[in-house]
């Protein structure tokens, strides 16, 4: 019976091909530094899962954001754990992605034929920072609010386009309800969608060119 189901599914999905393509790939002898990329992916998935759970109770309006976060922390079963993981996951993700980037730089893995992998990867790093910046405002407490006031102000000093950047980030002249709702939208839709797509491209490029070998003296 199980065998029949397996054969039926295999005919259509092609488990064997998948195994050969995805898992049974030859690789150069790796070391522990090579695990940082998959660790970044794992943290991205963790942030996604905990973030989705958080949206169940979180309300992106200035009147309710703070109280809804308080409720998640004190009222919802294991809400503190979910938020705690999301909070620390953000810090850890920035750290792991950054160290991953340094690893690739110091082992010169970005050189031919993996130039595009690096370019997509550095974009992923910037997107991660963007996630950190937009997510920071969402609890809408003192720290979040003032950090965003200062952070968006920095965008405003760019000569010429500064005032426009400031207005576009804040949705007006001040950090307000509009800022919160656009940061929320950027944080849960725009950046994650871009991130997911770029991660897909990044992974495809890694599979296409294979993991880079550690440079030896004659490289």
Contacts (CB under 8 A) with other proteins, residues 59-98: 62, 66, 70, 73-74, 80-81, 83-85, 87-92, 94-96, 98
Residues 116-135 that bind other proteins (CB under 8 A): 118-119, 122-123, 125-126, 129, 132-133
Q: Is 147 in the site for other proteins (CB under 8 A)?
A: yes
**CA–CA distance, 86 with 45 (Å, rounded to integer):** 11
Please, what is the minimum distance in Å from the beta carbon of residue 46 to other proteins?
7
Please, what is the minimum distance in Å from the beta carbon of residue 4 to other proteins?
26
**CA–CA distance, 48 with 42 (Å, rounded to integer):** 10
- How far does Cα 199 stand from its chain's mean position? 9
Of 103, 136, 171, 203, the one binding other proteins by CB under 8 A: 136
Phi-psi map region of 31: left, alpha, beta (phi>0 left; psi -120 to 50 alpha): beta
Comparing CB distances to other proteins, the nearer of 8 and 146 is 146
Q: How far is CA 5 from CA 13, 18, 103, in A?
A: 12, 17, 44
Of 51-59, 183-191, 192-200, 210-218, the window that binds other proteins (rule: CB under 8 A) is: 210-218
Please, what is the minimum distance in Å from the beta carbon of residue 5 to other proteins?
23
**CA–CA distance, 15 with 186 (Å, rounded to integer):** 37
């Amino acid at each position: 019976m199980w065998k029949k189901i397996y054969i039926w599914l295999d005919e259509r999905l092609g488990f064997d091909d998948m195994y050969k393509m995805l898992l049974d790939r030859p690789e150069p002898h790796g070391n522990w530094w090579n695990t940082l990329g998959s660790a970044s992916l794992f943290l991205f998935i963790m942030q996604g899962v905990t973030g989705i759970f958080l949206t169940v109770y979180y309300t992106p309006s200035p009147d309710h954001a703070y109280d809804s976060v308080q409720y998640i922390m004190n009222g919802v079963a294991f809400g503190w754990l979910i938020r705690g993981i999301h909070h620390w996951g953000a810090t850890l993700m920035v750290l792991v992605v950054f160290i991953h980037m340094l690893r690739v730089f110091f082992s010169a893995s970005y050189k031919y034929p993996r130039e595009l992998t690096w370019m997509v990867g550095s974009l992923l790093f910037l997107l991660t920072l963007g996630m950190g910046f937009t997510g920071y405002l969402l609890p809408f407490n003192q720290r979040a609010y003032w950090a965003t006031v200062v952070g968006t102000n920095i965008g405003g000093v760019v000569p010429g386009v500064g005032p426009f950047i400031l207005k576009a980030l804040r949705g007006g002249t001040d950090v307000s309800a509009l800022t919160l709702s656009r940061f929320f939208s950027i944080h849960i839709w725009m950046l994650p969608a871009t991130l997911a797509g770029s991660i897909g491209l990044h992974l495809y490029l890694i599979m296409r060119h294979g993991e880079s070998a550690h440079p030896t003296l004659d490289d």
